[in-house]
Amino acid sequence: MIEDDIYRTSSQFRLWSFTEASLQSLRATTNATACERVRSDIRKSRDAPQSASSSAAGTPAANPGSDVDSKAGEGSEDDCLTPAEEHQLVQYFCEQIIKLGEMYKPPLPTIVRATATQYLKRFYLTNSPMTYHPKNIMLCALFLATKTDNYYISLNQFAAGVPNDPKPDEIIRFEFLIMQSLRFTFDVRHPFRGLEGGIMELSAILEGLGKPAPHFPSQSPDELKRKLQSLSPPQGVQQGTSVQDRLARAHHGTREILKTAAQMTDAYFLYTPSQIWLAAFMVADRPLADFYLDTKLGGPVDENNKGNPFYELRVKLLRTLTDCANLLQSYTPPVSNQEQKNALRRIQKKLSRLQPRDKPEAVGQKRIPAAATDSGNSESEMERLAKKRKLDGAQANDLFGGELVMQRTKQTQGQQPPP
């Protein structure tokens, strides 16, 4: 199918599609790496004051020292977030993005909010909330999404809409870090437009304007229309409603699912956008979705339909769509649940103790040269040298700066006697 080949060229498919297992292992690895960092930080901070106190006072250090030791040891063991907790936290902030987007006047478009949500999710695949607090990343992700989705809003305007009035610089500080973690792929394929297309075609069929699918040229507009009109109604709806109303309702229902469940679950990583919207459509109106697929891929799935060239595909697709629909249906808005709220509060409290000791931007800044290229080490070295050179250039009044090697040796010599 040519449309599938077109989708396979997208960065969403190439870089941001995972199986359930690989997604889990990726999150686990990220969590483990971050935990290691946290523990080593704790150990360092524990060692440093201890040595300072022992060298300074010397005498009464024995008992309190062991006390601190035991406390810190206990903290480092179970203070780290588990992957599940991290996931829960990220999900919470995804919801915050949606909410924040609604607070603007006019509200940010759904697509911008959805893109920002996906950015956040993608970001936290390879980064841990323990390293970068989501409340910082979230704002920047949303601002980045307004840019990539072509919805212009100035940074000051954007900052004015955020509660607690953060400084614009604070918001934008993580932008490069995010872009880098997104591997510079900003294209998020959403299911929203696909839904519009499907509804558009269904209403064309309803008006007797349907065109046969390329592989089923025998379909006639009238036949399609008759079939559509004679569909059995979905559960919980009376017989009387017109097909137009039914379409509109299904459209609305699907859209709601796409706006919430599809964003909050891992659907984007596990399924393609067209599968997502069709699964959501299935949730909203099963017979309609089945009918639509039948027009595209031929007859209902049963034994006597095995001659159909797309039988295999249809069966596989049905399985995938059902899985996806189950995933979408499994989502419940977490804020409605007091227990979840409490859990979140606990996680946040834990997190506040785990943030890196040095300022987070320092981590961010350090990281940029290291990860921007694969040969991180030499790059950062280069940058350091360049900076040194610049510094020297400012100091020395030699018009073109001194000789490079000379300058370096001078620098090191100058540094050795500490001021």
Q: Which is closer to other proteins, CB of 99 or CB of 366?
A: 366
Using rule CB under 8 A, residue 267 touches other proteins: no
Q: Closest distance between other proteins and the C-beta of residue 376, in Å? A: 5
8 Å CB contact between 129 and 351: yes
Using rule CB under 8 A, residue 129 touches other proteins: no
**Binding to other proteins (CB under 8 A): which residues in 45-104?**
none
Which residue among 99, 226, 345, 357 contacts other proteins (CB under 8 A)? 357
Q: Closest distance between other proteins and the C-beta of residue 179, in Å? A: 13
**Binding to other proteins (CB under 8 A): which residues in 174-233?**
181, 189, 193-198, 200-201, 203-204, 207, 209, 211-215
Q: Which is closer to other proteins, CB of 172 or CB of 371?
A: 371
Q: Closest distance between other proteins and the C-beta of residue 3, in Å? A: 5
Q: Closest distance between other proteins and the C-beta of residue 155, in Å? A: 26
**Binding to other proteins (CB under 8 A): which residues in 8-37?**
8, 10, 13, 15, 17-22, 25-26, 29-30, 33-34, 36-37
Using rule CB under 8 A, residue 273 touches other proteins: yes
Which residue among 72, 172, 343, 363 contacts other proteins (CB under 8 A)? 363
Using rule CB under 8 A, residue 356 touches other proteins: yes
Using rule CB under 8 A, residue 41 touches other proteins: yes
Q: Which is closer to other proteins, CB of 21 or CB of 405?
A: 21
**Binding to other proteins (CB under 8 A): which residues in 315-334?**
316-317, 320
Which residue among 42, 80, 257, 278 contacts other proteins (CB under 8 A)? 278
Using rule CB under 8 A, residue 366 touches other proteins: yes
Q: Which is closer to other proteins, CB of 97 or CB of 279?
A: 279
Q: Which is closer to other proteins, CB of 35 or CB of 344?
A: 35
Q: Closest distance between other proteins and the C-beta of residue 196, in Å? A: 5
Q: How many CB atoms lie within 10 A of CB 238?
A: 6
Using rule CB under 8 A, residue 42 touches other proteins: no
